[in-house]
Amino acid sequence: MATPVDPPNGIRSPGKHYYSMWQTLFEIDTKYVPIKPIGRGAYGIVCSSINRETNEKVAIKKIHNAFENCIDALRTLRELKLLRHLRHDNVIALKDVMMPIQRRTFKDVYLVYELMDTDLHQIIKSSQALTNDHCQYFSLPDAFNKISACILSLPDLGTGMMQSLIGVLGPQHRSDYPDIYLLTLLRGLKYLHSANILHRDLKPGNLLINANCDLKICDFGLARTSSGKGQFMTEYVVTRWYRAPELLLCCDNYGTSIDVWSVGCIFAELLGRKPIFPGTECLNQLKLIINILGNQREDDLEFIDNPKARKYIKSLPYSLGTPLSRLYPNAHPLAIDLLQKMLVFDPSKRISVTEALQHPFMSALYDPKCDTPAQVPIDLDIDEDLGEEMIREMMWTEMLHYHPEAATANVEMS
């Protein structure tokens, strides 16, 4: 739980109060009352909290020593710049960035997001294979956890059964079957792509879920804008298991299709309850892909601009591949067809997000009239060689969008 503590130097900064959670000090705005820590990562700690002004529950992420590593600081800056512009039901909302007291020397950054209950990785990991009979024993208080486990384990649950469950549980526990998760993920991704944004790190852990079974894409630290020419550096992008072949092969030119590949891997994981390509390193990752997709024709390798990479792919043992219908025998044939179109080795032949939403497996659920594209493409170009002082100043500028009064307030500037 969150424990109130005295400030470390005995001096209480105006508008701030202090809490300890998991042996970490939180110096936060007084309008936020922490409840408990809910997550920990390399970045720091996340706690749930209540905004006393709105009575809304939120998640506060503390990034400790945010400028200690310039690469990590740039990721945070990129996420701030991006989320300030994004407004979509299936993209996490950044509600506030707390203003530090010291403009030129602050070290920690506090981000305030809408509060979600879990992520898709936890649902997949914790779900057990349940039958229709198991579904009859749901109780409303823990319906979210159990319905996730049950419906995800029923690849061909009929519409009638789905409507019956909704009728019993109420609209707040609407279906969270694989196709509903896929629908909301694709809708959010379509919005991002309309804003000229490649997420570049889609994976189950970056897809947050709440008790209403709403899905929201998060973690935009690796996101980039697409120039239309597809020119990018080949730095680390995408967790390996969800990384498209063109990234594994270090191609300099790539586009929105890398996100589609990641969605395909996530969809397969929903169907099979385990990663489809759990490679131990990059070369092993490519071998696993070829083992399932089969060896590629010469014209399917034309996108590989590195001769050594192309030679390596050709040197792999011959494989006819493994039919996806054999891997997922209980999946609907239309689900298999869509998955096959997502997991295409050649990015130019991979289905687009819009085409995926219009696929017969999704079309009955998808209403294009409900989609609102981003108002304008977003420019995320940031000089990768920026130093700590400039990154800190740019981050301060981003904070002012949430606290315009601080631009003219008489606060300590150094």
Which active-site residues does the annotation give? 201
- 309 — phi, psi (to 5°)? -65, -40
Question: What residues form DSSP beta bridges with 118?
Answer: 209
Tokens matching residue 281: 């390193």
Pair 152, 178: CB distance under 8 Å: yes
Q: Which residues contact 190 (CB under 8 A, 6 or more apart)?
A: 353, 354, 357, 371
Hey, CA dihedral for 400, 403, 404, 406, is it positive or negative?
Answer: negative
**Rounded to whole angstroms, how far apart are CA atoms 285 and 308?**
17
Q: Is 62 annotated as a binding residue?
A: yes
Query: How many residues can be counted in the chain?
Result: 414
Four-residue CA torsion sign, 107, 108, 111, 117: positive
Nearest CA to 6 out of 15, 14, 20, 22 is that of: 20
Burial status of residue 180 (CB atoms within 10 A of its CB: 0-12, 13-18, 19 or more): middle
* Cβ proximity of 121 and 275 under 8 Å: no
Asked if residues 59 and 49 have their Cβ atoms less than 8 Å apart, the reply is yes
Cβ atoms of 60 and 26 within 8 Å: the answer is yes
What Å distances lie between residue 13 and 7, 22, 107, CA to CA? 8, 22, 15
Cα angle 307-350-85, degrees, rounded to a multiple of 5:
105
d(Cα 370, Cα 148) in Å, to the nearest integer? 25
Residues 144/126, Cβ–Cβ less than 8 Å: no
Three-state DSSP at 28 gives: strand
Residue with tokens 């030119």: 253
- Kind and range of the H or E element at 385? none
Annotated binding site: 62
Annotated binding site for ATP: 62
